[in-house]
Amino acid sequence: MPDSIQPNLLILDEVDSTNTYAREHFDDLPDGTLVVARRQTAGRGRRGRSWLSPPGINFTGSILLKRLEDGFHAGCLLGVAALSLLRELAPELPAYLKWPNDIYVEDRKLAGLLSESARIENGRVTAVVSGIGINVNLPSDALKAIDQ
């Protein structure tokens, strides 16, 4: 059950994965809804990799994009948008996009993105769930437990 819901913002106390939740509730949530979790127990990245996210430390969220003419490149656009926002908020950071789904600062991974098609019509992706996990305050002992 959601902790908090506002138009286009759903904040969950705990969830396995924001992308999984968004896909499972896709028909019930409005276009543009951002699903955020305080704690994600089974976050994941590309190729089945897990995303470590201790409670209250990182940002994990997924957005539903339901009305796309052609959503094939939606994940790439999310990466560019996230990098653009980071450069606006913290221009001193030497951030870059490791194409197509990771944001790095120098040699450290700051964020990972995962986009999944949610609807395909006439051979085109017309709806996408795009998630982002951002390492905001991960302690050094937790950093040692991950490979990036």
pLDDT in tens, 113-148: 888 989 988 888 999 999 998 877 766 666 666 555
CA distances from 61 to 9, 11, 122, 136 (A): 10, 9, 29, 13
Q: Domain of 63: which CATH number?
A: 3.30.930.10
Q: Which domain holds residue 53?
A: 4-144
pLDDT in tens, 55-78: 777 888 999 999 888 787 888 888
CA distances from 34 to 96, 97, 105, 128 (A): 24, 22, 25, 12
Q: What's the total number of domains in the chain? A: 1
